[in-house]
A and B are shown apart, each in its own frame.
Chain A
Amino acid sequence: AQSVSQHNHHVILSEAASLELGCNYSYGGTVNLFWYVQYPGQHLQLLLKYFSGDPLVKGIKGFEAEFIKSKFSFNLRKPSVQWSDTAEYFCAVKLDNQGGKLIFGQGTELSVKP
Chain B
Amino acid sequence: GAVVSQHPSWVICKSGTSVKIECRSLDFQATTMFWYRQFPKQSLMLMATSNEGSKATYEQGVEKDKFLINHASLTLSTLTVTSAHPEDSSFYICSAAGGGQPQHFGDGTRLSIL
Tally of contact residues, B, Cβ under 8 A: 22
- Categorize the interface residue count of chain A: 20 to 34
Q: Report the separation of the CA atoms of residues A42 and B93 in the bound assembly, to the nearest whole angstrom.
A: 11
Q: Are B43 and A44 in contact (CB under 8 A)?
A: no
Binding site secondary structure of chain B: strand
Give bound CA distance, A46 to B102, whole Å: 9
Tell whether, in the assembled complex, residue B93 and residue A44 are in contact, meaning their CB atoms are under 8 Å apart.
yes
**Which B positions have Cβ atoms within 8 angstroms of A?**
2, 4, 32, 34, 36, 41-46, 49, 57, 93, 95, 97, 102-103, 105-108
From A9, A36, A42, A100, B32 is in contact (CB under 8 Å) with A100
A63 CB–B CB distance under 8 Å: no
Residues of B within 8 A of A49 (CB): 102
The complex places the Cα of A1 from the Cα of B93 at a distance, in Å, of 23
- When distances are taken between beta carbons in the complex, the residues of chain A under 8 Å from B57 are 99
